[in-house]
Amino acid sequence: MAEPLRVGIAGLGTVGAAVARLLQRQAEALRARTGREIVVAGVSAREPDKERGVDLTHAAFFSDAAQLAASPRVDLFVELIGGAEGPARASVETALANGKSVVTANKALLAEHGLRLAALAEEKHVALAFEASVAGGIPIVKTLREGLAGNSIDRVYGILNGTCNYILSRMELEELSFAQCLAEAQQLGYAEADPTFDIGGYDTAHKLSILTSLAFGTRIAPRAIDVEGIERVTLADIEAAAELGFRIKLLGVAQRTAQGIEQRVHPTMVKKTTAIAQVMGVTNAVTIDADAVHELTLVGPGAGGEATASAVVADIADIAKGVRSAPFGIPSAALRELRRMPMRRHEGGYYIRLTVRDVAGAFAKIAGRMAERRISLESIVQRGRFQRAGDQSSAPRSVSVILITHATSEHLVREALEAIDADGTIVGKAQVIRIERE
């Protein structure tokens, strides 16, 4: 049997502790599958004496993660610290420079520095593995990089943030406001005290940038992604979507177009009949459209200690077996530059909610502005009756109107809405949610 694989784990929080427990619990099975023993030989953490439910007395402790990464005591470095800079970046760079393979769950680090880290791993002939960086326990990285190597991918999209999916699910099922559901998610630990990174769509964007590179052979480009969060989604939108046969999900979408690769993150209307619409709560899902397999959807836990640890340990097992794949499927030097595709070039259907004033000819003006730009309307729905704002009888009356368009372009929709706003026929800002094709 081969020499044991000595693993160093930096970061013993929820995921790091779960990785150590899983390696210990599955030690015999992993030895049988990989042909060698896998041992935790070193650890680094802020609180060395904290109880973590696993015996680490035989592992050397390092107060500095970079020292652990450079130590001759370990062969494989596992980074579970988090963050694009600081100790996470320094320790991963140190490990690779010292010829050690690296496993990480750090999507922010990969989004910002993945290309350079991949090049360094290739130069040193070691592995850089990151299955746990996207969609937790779902094996989406291996699926794109290896399982679908014989496919040409047209589109990859999915629910990549459990916090947002939980909030939108609760809004629909319990008829609660966005603010109520966010507060509940924070109480349950699904959302941070400052939830901006999740609800603003930035976490999804980091993960999407990794999937785009794997799917289309492009350099990671998180700043080439158009990002919108779920902050403006209201209960009225959720209810209207349900009546029209849709659900609202925050999706990360990357797709091949005639102009190049389009990347976008935004609230999206999806047909209730689709597989991804059935995914509720904190669960994640990724759908891949490819030429040979057509449509493939993977669903599973997108976060949590055990689920993420499962993906980390899968990467450790691959490295123990001697598996060395190019981190992004092809050599980093062969990855193509990715140009930003302006969102205004996007084409598809749209849900538009307007608060329309009770003035003569308002509906005709709205329809006219759409027709001027050849935007075809599939349906127009008036929700409720005209009501006055507040309690003042002199206040202007208004009503909520929903437009569903046939396929059109983003810039035409925006131009039409700018003209409608200038006409003075609506109150406040229009709500626009894109409809994703099946």
DSSP 309-351: HHHHHHHHHHHHTT----TTSS-GGGPBP-----GGG-EEEEE
Burial of 422 (0-12, 13-18, 19+ CB in 10 A): exposed
Q: What is the pLDDT of residues 139-170, one digit of tens each?
A: 999 999 999 999 999 999 999 999 999 999 99
Q: What is the pLDDT of residues 372-383, one digit of tens each?
A: 999 999 988 887
Say whether pLDDT at 345 is over 70: no
What's the pLDDT at 258? 81
Rounded CA separation 50/70 (Å): 24
What's the pLDDT at 390? 53
The overall average pLDDT reported for the chain is: 92
Say whether pLDDT at 343 is over 70: no
Q: What residue ranges do the domains of the chain occupy?
A: 5-133, 140-301, 344-435
Rounded CA separation 157/284 (Å): 11
What's the pLDDT at 191? 87
Residue whose structure tokens are 């779960």: 18
Say whether pLDDT at 395 is over 60: no
142 catalytic residue (yes or no): no
Say whether pLDDT at 389 is over 80: no
377 - beta bridge partners?
405
Q: Which two tokens stand for residue 101?
A: 């393979």
Active-site pick, 207, 271, 272, 365: 207
What's the pLDDT at 386? 59
Q: What percent of the chain has pLDDT over 90?
A: 79
What's the pLDDT at 168? 97
Rounded CA separation 93/123 (Å): 12
Say whether pLDDT at 20 is over 70: yes
What's the pLDDT at 52? 86
112-133 mean pLDDT: 97
341-353 mean pLDDT: 79
Task: Report residue 397's pLDDT band, with 50, 70 and 90 as the boundaries.
Answer: confident
Q: What is the largest CA-CA distance in the chain?
A: 86
Higher-confidence residue of 103 and 325: namely: 103
The β-bridge relationship of strands 377-388 and 260-271 is: unpaired
Say whether pLDDT at 180 is over 60: yes
Q: Which two tokens stand for residue 262?
A: 């389009």
Helix axes 162-174, 235-243, angle to 10 degrees: 70
Cβ-contact 256, 154 below 8 angstroms: yes
Say whether pLDDT at 71 is over 90: yes
What's the pLDDT at 374? 94
Task: Report residue 413's pLDDT band, with 50, 70 and 90 as the boundaries.
Answer: very high
Name the amino acid, one letter, at 73.
R
Say whether pLDDT at 61 is over 80: yes
Task: Report residue 106's pLDDT band, with 50, 70 and 90 as the boundaries.
Answer: very high
- Report the CATH architecture of 5-133: 3-Layer(aba) Sandwich (3.40)
User: Which H/E stretch holds residue 360?
Assistant: none
What's the pLDDT at 1? 65
User: Of 6-20, 191-205, 393-407, which gets the smallest average pLDDT?
Assistant: 393-407
Task: Report residue 394's pLDDT band, with 50, 70 and 90 as the boundaries.
Answer: low
What's the pLDDT at 86? 96
| Domain boundaries 344-435, corresponding CATH code | 3.30.70.260
Say whether pLDDT at 293 is over 70: yes
Say whether pLDDT at 342 is over 70: no
What's the pLDDT at 344? 56
* C-alpha dihedral (303, 321, 6, 31), degrees to nearest 10: 90
Q: Which two tokens stand for residue 36?
A: 């060698």
Question: In degrees, to the nearest 5, what angle opens at C-alpha 361 toward C-alphas 360 and 362?
Answer: 95
Rounded CA separation 107/115 (Å): 13
Rounded CA separation 341/406 (Å): 22
Cβ-contact 92, 109 below 8 angstroms: yes
**Superfamily the domain 140-301 falls into:** Dihydrodipicolinate Reductase; domain 2 (3.30.360.10)
Residue whose structure tokens are 């966010």: 182
Say whether pLDDT at 392 is over 70: no
Say whether pLDDT at 355 is over 80: yes
